[in-house]
A and B are shown apart, each in its own frame.
Chain A
Amino acid sequence: MAANNMRHALFCAIVTLIISFPILGLSLEAKGVNITLSGAKTSTYVAIVLAAVAVFVFQTFRDTFMGALGKLPNFNPLAGREPMEQTKRVKLESWLLTGIVVFALFWPFLVSRGSVDLATLVLIYIMLALGLNVVVGLAGLLDLGYVAFYAVGAYTFALLSQYTGISFWMALPIGALLAGLTGMILGFPVLRLRGDYLAIVTLGFGEIIRILLNNWTTLTGGPNGIGGIPEPTLFGMEFGRRVKEEGNTSFHETFGIAYSGEHKVIFLYLIALVLAVITALIIRRFMRMPVGRAWEALREDEIAARSLGLSRTAVKLSAFTIGAFFAGFAGTVFASKQGFISPESFVFLESAIILAIVVLGGMGSQLGVILAAIAVTILPELAREFSEYRMLIFGAAMVLMMVWRPQGLLPVRRIQITLNKQG
């Protein structure tokens, strides 16, 4: 056992050396037209060796370490307590959630512009993750190309505003509906697929949309993207310094206050907040409706679901369509927030991050997914001080999370139903 560990540990240490030495220990420098290879500082070499030793020690005593990790939840002060009564818990939860939403309404007036901007992004990710949660968490269809629907929503708004001068409020339903339609179209060819095969096809679909946007230069502007996407207006009032559209008035003049760039940011944040809350509420309702139960039944056992008269076509398509619909929602808000979009915003990594949010939060659990969206979006920002290491920290956090809580931050709790005794 120990010898086995030792050999494995030695192997891991060598791998660490092989990987980190060329990356950290060697550096390429451009001198004129020539590139020269030079070594790094001695301290770097020492660090690499120390890292290899650390890996070696960890791997040798891996069992002890992991055993200790497993015991950690015992320190959790809440661990031994009885779960709260159902009715009490539901009441407390709804009060808490209402409190959080009310707080979120007033919060942007207290903090800096950068924080509000980041919070808007968090809200967009919440919408995306809630939508993907329907497809992956509830219906059990592994979708790796979800970002395609996000792109459809964003580009719908961008293109319509460029060619027809449509406003945000008009574009919001159109973008969402078009994304939903795209979801349905994708749904048809993949109806028979499950699991890994489905993942590959959706991955391909996501790439097709991105490459299409990249290469159809006459329509989408290709990699240059589309700029000048209008911001949302409030009953015809614009938030810019000067009014762009004829017939509109400007917000600060109407209310006789000094112009401030913050108004626009806060307004966008509030829109995103309202939309995210609407998304969460609608999907929450769906989960308690026949269609939501049908999604879950299909995830649990497709054959049994069919034997009870559920049509696979209808159930899968509805999951894809509704998931895509909310991605379109998020895409429209995103386009409006950025004012400029390009295919670069819709790469595979985005799909992966949204999927990671759903898995980290706990598949199917709305509250968990919302928490995970906040964590995953804010964590890289908080770790910004560590500059190039922030993705490393991000990755490590994910690994640890999966070791500790493979079921996600807040796993789903089944809804308890009281039945009236019959006869």
Chain B
Amino acid sequence: MLEVKNLSMRFGGLLAVDGVSLDVQEREIVSIIGPNGAGKTTVFNCLSGFYKPTGGKVIFEGREIQGTPDYKISRLGMVRTFQHVRLFTQMTVVENLLVAQHRHLNTNMLAGLLGTPSYKEREQKALDRAAYWLERVGLLDLANRDAGNLAYGQQRRLEIARCMVTEPKLLMLDEPAAGLNPAETKELNQLIVSLKEDYNVSVVLIEHDMSLVMDISDRINVINQGKPLASGTPEEIRHNDDVIKAYLGEA
């Protein structure tokens, strides 16, 4: 469903991403790994429209979307999280989820001001969907807390829930396990697999935690210094000499 061909991104003299290609099928978890500064997050920023790539093509469900503005890309059903959690910290947990659902809501201002039945019905549906996902990530009891007051692991889960209420087809997670303890990482692991199995969402994952990556990925792409290094199943990557060299240095 997502196909990236020869993607490159240049910042002045720096070629941060050079000829990266990857593809994601329906109900698949694809990971992007690589050493720090390899250009993984830059790839993400190009895919999600935060950067306009300088070369290459991004095709999502048969449409070329490179250079499309970020908010339009997310409306197509490609939603992302961030390396550093980005929540609306002074809003409550449930408000965070309502903001994300603005497209499912009746945004007609007059309907809202008058409180028409159709407006109320949609508002209620949005609340129910929010409740469902809060229950799913174990935050229902904290629904009216300020999002900024949650523990770090909870914030991570809320960010994923906030993506899921938009009913995406493709979820892009940028280091979701960063800063989580082993127990939380395990929970996250199960959550991501369940997103794929139960909600038919494809996942693109950037992650440093190798146990997580090897456990749940269907395929892995390795990037080094902006260039694609290898791609394949976890088993293939584990035994790839180039990858071992890039991670461990030459012997």
Contact = CB atoms under 8 A, between A and B. Distances in A.
Given A303-B86, A306-B70, A417-B144, A297 B91 contact: yes
A300 B128 contact: no
A290 B107 contact: yes
Interface of B: 48, 50, 70-72, 74-75, 79-80, 82, 86-92, 94-95, 98-100, 102-103, 105-107, 109, 112-113, 115, 127-128, 130-132, 134-135, 140, 143-144, 146, 162-163, 166
4 residue pairs, one from A and one from B, having the closest CB atoms? A300-B88, A304-B86, A419-B131, A422-B132
B173 to A, nearest CB: 12
Interface string A252-291: 0000000000000000000000000000001001100111
A289 B119 CA distance: 10
B100 A290 contact: no
A308 B127 contact: no
A309 B102 contact: yes
Given A286-B112, A417-B94, A417-B144, 8 more contacts: A294-B99, A300-B87, A303-B82, A307-B48, A307-B86, A308-B166, A311-B71, A423-B135
Contacts of A112: none
Interface residues on A, range: 20 to 34
A155 B127 CA distance: 45
B79 to A, nearest CB: 7
A419 B125 CA distance: 11
A296 B102 CA distance: 13
A294 B89 CA distance: 14
16 contacts: A282-B113, A294-B99, A296-B99, A301-B87, A303-B50, A303-B86, A304-B82, A304-B87, A307-B79, A307-B82, A309-B71, A309-B72, A309-B103, A310-B99, A420-B127, A421-B131
A305 interface: yes
A293 to B, nearest CB: 5
Contacts of B74: 306-309
B139 to A, nearest CB: 11
A293 B99 contact: yes
B50 to A, nearest CB: 7
A218 interface: no
A113 interface: no
Nearest to A296: B91
A414 B226 CA distance: 44
A290 B107 CA distance: 6
A285 B70 contact: no
Contact of A305 (B82, B99, B143): B99
Contacts of A285: 112-113, 115
Nearest to B99: A297
A416 interface: yes
Nearest to B144: A416
Contacts of A423: 132, 135
A309 B86 CA distance: 14
Given A306-B71, A309-B71, A291 B79 contact: no
Nearest to B111: A289
Contacts of A415: 92, 95
Nearest to B102: A290
A390 interface: no
Nearest to A300: B88
B176 to A, nearest CB: 15
Nearest to B162: A308
A293 B95 contact: yes
Contacts of A306: 70-71, 74
A422 B135 contact: yes
A306 B100 CA distance: 10
Nearest to A291: B109
A300 B162 CA distance: 15
Contacts of A311: 71
A293 B131 contact: no
Contact of A312 (B71, B86, B105): B71
B135 A421 contact: yes
A301 B82 CA distance: 12
A301 B143 CA distance: 20
Contact of A308 (B100, B106, B112): B100
A417 B70 contact: no
A293 B48 contact: no
A360 B134 CA distance: 36
Nearest to B114: A285
B109 A414 contact: no
A423 B162 CA distance: 19
Nearest to B146: A414
Contact of A289 (B91, B95, B112, B163): B112
B99 A414 contact: no
A296 B98 CA distance: 12
A296 B128 CA distance: 22
Interface in A338-354: none
Nearest to B135: A422
B156 to A, nearest CB: 14
A300 B102 contact: no
